[in-house]
Amino acid sequence: MKKILVIISALIVAAACAAPTTPPPANANVATAPATAAMTEADAIAKEKAIWDTIKNKDYDAFGNMLAADQLEVTGETVYDKAGSISMVKEFEPSEVNFSDWKFLSIDKDAFVLIYTVSVKGKYKGKEFPAESARASSAWVNRDGKWLAMYHQESTIKPPAPASPASAAKTAASPGAAPVMAATGADPIANEKMVWDLFKSKNYDAFAALLAPDFVEVEPDKVYDKVGSVKGVSEFDASKAVLSDWRAVNLDDDAKLVTYVAKIPGGPSDGERHSTIWVSRAGKWLGLFHHGGTPVMKPAAMMETKPAASPAMKSPMKKT
């Protein structure tokens, strides 16, 4: 009997020695997703050029595989979804594409924006068009470890409008205007409407407070930083602006895109398309990126003109 007890005791001690000193984590049997490496500017540019190459090579399957399922393409004619982008790109035959003025803007670890100038010539709907330059913006997102194109917009480059001191004086904020500060939230449409209400009330300090320090705005005349954008919006009258055609989509949990049409007296008769990316930073939603200046075009007009550049890669605050 003692011999049996000795054997049992020895087995218990051996088992105790073999047991882990700390309990395994609850998800020990769940595979851990590999960490995604931070996106570099060079890699981002390479991805953007690669998607243009699929268009030049007429590899429409590859093009579609590089788009997110909820991708949006903002053009003068309309805002296309993924299926619309693939269909439209088949009408576009670029023979020469040149890039310049690249700017990389990180949204967060799973999203970024590329801003650049693109000059394209080729055919659209079988008709030749001469080279034309546009300011382009593309947002990319990381979905399940794969980087996909999520948004694209372009606006044809135009020279800056001459300064109008009289107009600036007319629309400047009143010294007695109350500096009421606005509170944003997770709804990008509500945030954007709030911004335009601030324009109408000429509360430019409150507008500036809603922008991230690294805010970038793309317009036909130039690319603005935060200071330039705040100065620019103080020089046009938004009191009679009419906003419509709202669409919003999530880039990820902390970044949202909204696109819409803004009609401003003195601007294009059918308005212009604007897009803004809002991001959550330290618990507050801030404007990080804006692209404006894409005139709304009727389908009939689109038949007579080429797209600013790639129909599927095309093309806040427009200065008028």
Choosing from 156, 174, 203, the residue where a domain stops is 156
Query: Residue 311: inside a domain, yes or no?
Result: no
Query: Residue 68: inside a domain, yes or no?
Result: yes
Query: What CATH number does the domain containing 95 carry?
Result: 3.10.450.50
- Regarding whether 82 and 46 lie in a shared domain, the answer is yes
Cα angle, residue 267 at apex, residues 262 and 269 outer, rounded to 5°: 80
Query: Residue 303: inside a domain, yes or no?
Result: no
Query: Residue 27: inside a domain, yes or no?
Result: no
Q: Is 247 in contact with 229 (CB distance < 8 Å)? A: no
Domain holding 218, by residue range, is 165-296
For the whole model, what pTM was predicted?
0.81
Query: Residue 84: inside a domain, yes or no?
Result: yes
How high is the pLDDT of residue 162?
Answer: 64
pLDDT tens over the chain, length 320 residues = 434 434 434 434 444 444 444 444 444 444 444 556 679 999 999 999 999 999 999 999 999 999 999 999 999 999 999 999 999 999 999 999 999 999 999 999 999 999 999 999 999 889 999 889 999 999 999 999 999 999 999 999 998 766 555 444 444 444 445 555 679 999 999 999 999 999 999 999 999 999 999 999 999 999 999 999 999 999 989 999 999 999 999 999 999 999 999 999 989 999 999 999 999 999 999 999 999 999 999 865 544 444 444 434 433 454 44
Going by C-alpha positions, the residue among 140, 117, 135, 118 that lies closest to residue 71 is: 140
- Regarding whether 245 and 145 lie in a shared domain, the answer is no
Q: Is 65 in contact with 91 (CB distance < 8 Å)? A: no
Query: Quick check: helix, strand or coil at residue 90?
Result: coil
Q: Encoding tokens for residue 240?
A: 């009679």
How high is the pLDDT of residue 13?
Answer: 40
- Regarding whether 254 and 190 lie in a shared domain, the answer is yes
Distance CA 242, CA 263 (A): 5
Choosing from 100, 122, 156, the residue where a domain stops is 156
Q: How many domains does the chain have?
A: 2
- Regarding whether 110 and 195 lie in a shared domain, the answer is no
Distance CA 125, CA 15 (A): 76
- Regarding whether 179 and 141 lie in a shared domain, the answer is no
Choosing from 156, 177, 201, the residue where a domain stops is 156
How high is the pLDDT of residue 176?
Answer: 45
- Regarding whether 291 and 170 lie in a shared domain, the answer is yes
How high is the pLDDT of residue 182?
Answer: 75
Task: Compute CA distances 29 → 24, 221, 299, 315, 319, whole Å.
Answer: 9, 56, 55, 47, 57
- Regarding whether 145 and 186 lie in a shared domain, the answer is no
Distance CA 235, CA 219 (A): 15
- Regarding whether 190 and 91 lie in a shared domain, the answer is no
How high is the pLDDT of residue 170?
Answer: 44
Task: Compute CA distances 138 → 106, 113, 186, 265, whole Å.
Answer: 12, 6, 22, 29
Distance CA 92, CA 312 (A): 9
Going by C-alpha positions, the residue among 117, 140, 115, 78 that lies closest to residue 311 is: 78
- Regarding whether 200 and 137 lie in a shared domain, the answer is no
Q: Is 284 in contact with 210 (CB distance < 8 Å)? A: no
